[in-house]
Amino acid sequence: MHEEAGGGTGDSARGPPRPQAWPSHSWFHGKITREQAERLLCPPETGLFLVRESTNYPGDYTLCVSCDGKVEHYRIMYHASKLSIDEEVYFENLMQLVEHYTSDADGLCTRLIKPKLMEGTVAAQDEFFRSGWALNMKDLKLLQTIGKGEFGDVMLGDYRGNKVAVKCIKNDATAQAFLAEASVMTQLRHSNLVQLLGVIVEEKGGLYIVTEYMAKGSLVDYLRSRGRSVLGGDCLLKFSLDVCEAMEYLEGNNFVHRDLAARNVLVSEDNVAKVSDFGLTKEASSTQDTGKLPVKWTAPEALREKKFSTKSDVWSFGILLWEIYSFGRVPYPRIPLKDVVPRVEKGYKMDAPDGCPAAVYEVMKNCWHLDAATRPSFLQLREQLEHIKTHELHL
């Protein structure tokens, strides 16, 4: 189980797998030596940990954990696209592995309690304070759970008399990864993006990301619950334009959302649609793990070659338009999930939803060009939708 034990898995020579942009997980320290790791974990504190690339076994990783005054080094083997320390429990990525051993030692000398942060993460926490984004926990009341995410609850809160939404990340290791999300949100401000209000970093390691409260919930639920009898064509077009304007702003700032879908758009009390969930937002043209991607919303080149760009967001926007005009139906109805990608790559496009204006369906189809370069920009999409709004909606 320790790094010194055991031979290679046979897969190691290919070099370290890169299923995700690890440096955003601040416990990942890259290519440092065993001695450097031991220096970083000094003074010893049981449960303090970091992950580095293995020096003895190129292509594998090493989990370094401080325990009872000394540092233990556990080799993380990479085999058949999975990661494991004991060859009994396997993980899709380092994040999952760290999550697991944070909640349970499961054979390690101790459970993982506190990540040894890369310099940049400590700086990120300080930066929130310096730049005025740090809020005071004393001013925040948590009222009730309004949603559950993979890494924590979303709660309705009261911050100095205003309703807010609060993403609560209690787990220390996970909280560090979400600092990246919050720092992205501090750079972005648009009336159709869910606005970050601030961040609370607890000394114990918990993190609260506080955003404006969107009273009417997700767009997909809003569409499904109200339906055709309530929502007219002008309302659907307004939601489409709201989202398009947010995406045009991201495009102009060279940001890629990567998970654009009606479930990640929220609706305010006064019926404004705002794009949310910047967990995956990265600077344009980067790559990520495709293991958990939402197949029906993701562009073929992003699934096939991990090529994420504004143009892959445009593809997803076309799917989102289809969701809006079908009042929240799941895309590619009646096609088994495993058949979606092969059919799409052969040029299959969904039919127009019932009652969808022909001009809007043309916009959708333009988003679904297999050649990403021929898809329109969000600027062009906004112009097309505005043209439909002025010229064609009331014909």
Which residues participate in catalysis according to the annotation?
259
Flag whether 349 is marked binding.
no
Cβ neighbours of residue 101 under 8 Å, at least 6 residues apart? 63, 108, 111, 112
Residue corresponding to tokens 């600077």: 283
Residue corresponding to tokens 């009390």: 269
Beta bridge partners of 60: 58
Determine the 3-state secondary structure of 63 from DSSP: strand
Contact 211, 165 (CB under 8 A): yes
Q: Which two tokens stand for residue 158?
A: 């009261």
What is the C-alpha R_g of the chain?
23
115-118, long-range: CB < 8 A, 24+ apart: 115/26, 115/27, 115/48, 115/49, 115/50, 115/172, 115/173, 115/176, 116/27, 116/29, 116/40, 116/41, 116/48, 116/49, 116/50, 117/26, 117/27, 117/176, 118/23, 118/26, 118/27, 118/28, 118/29
Q: Which two tokens stand for residue 97?
A: 């592995």
Which residues are annotated as part of the binding site for ATP? 167
Which residues are annotated as part of the binding site? 167
